[in-house]
Amino acid sequence: MGRTLQPWVQGICTFQFQREQLAKAIEDIARNESVSTGMKMNTDIKVNIGEADCVGVVGTGNFGKAITNKLVKCGVQVVVGTRNPTGLYVSIEKALQEKIVLLAVPTFSWPDLPLTKIQAGTILIDCGNRPKICASDELSQAEKLQQMLPPGVHVVKGFNTLSAYELENMSFSAGQQIPIAGNSQAGKQAVGLLLDKMGYHVSDMGMLNQARLIENIPLALFPNWKKPFLISVCLWIFLYFITFSRYHFCSNNEFTWH
């Protein structure tokens, strides 16, 4: 009987250790912020990891639904916020009260969100993508989002290299590297623990300005497509002409007309 229960007990111990690590990482954010700004932070602000591993998700689009289902399958309780809360959905304000929040809405909707009401110590994960390449001297979406937030709220860029299709297919998560970036080391550690629980590996890219590189990853699949496309078209025309000429002008390896 002892041998049968050993893996089960070991799994519970590992899960409890991850919960304690994640809670400690969030507490470090509030502590570091109070030191750097000179403000007195509420040391009672903690992630409710001990009770439910609750994560807020703002957005009910394809990606929002996919990431919610993925988190639920991994044993994470999720609070989903939407503009029209019905059924299992809550208001956006309620979802933003969680200490880890996934922002799964397009950038043009950010000004309509109650971002200024987010409490200090919150980790806001920006998982959005941009429509065009971000230049090296241009602010990333994540950096712009950080400027819109009150002090003590930390943005971590991540999850944008995942698609809704990948999240819905469990086989894609095995060992996949997910790049993240942020100015808060404790915040990145907390997001890393969440990703680890979802079955992913973390690649820490550094400070939040590295979000410019992360946001360019989905756009860099085939950046210089025009030249290869033209070469392919020219090769197709050449091979078509050779085949056409051989059929109409050659008979028994002699150049003639049929």
pLDDT band at 175 (very low <50, low <70, confident <90, very high): confident
Average pLDDT of the segment spanning 210-238:
83
Task: Answer whether 97's CB lies under 8 Å from 129's CB.
Answer: no
Average pLDDT of the segment spanning 234-249:
82
In this predicted structure, what is the pLDDT of residue 256? 54
In this predicted structure, what is the pLDDT of residue 230? 85
pLDDT band at 145 (very low <50, low <70, confident <90, very high): very high
Q: What is the distance in angstroms between the CA of the first residue and the CA of the last residue of the chain?
A: 87
pTM for this model (two decimals): 0.67
Average pLDDT of the segment spanning 72-100:
92
Sign, Cα dihedral of 139, 145, 150, 155: negative
Percent over 90 (pLDDT), the chain: 50
Contacts of 161 (CB under 8 A, 6+ apart): 178, 179, 214, 217, 218
Cα–Cα separations (whole angstroms), residue 199 to 77, 142, 193, 240 = 16, 24, 10, 49
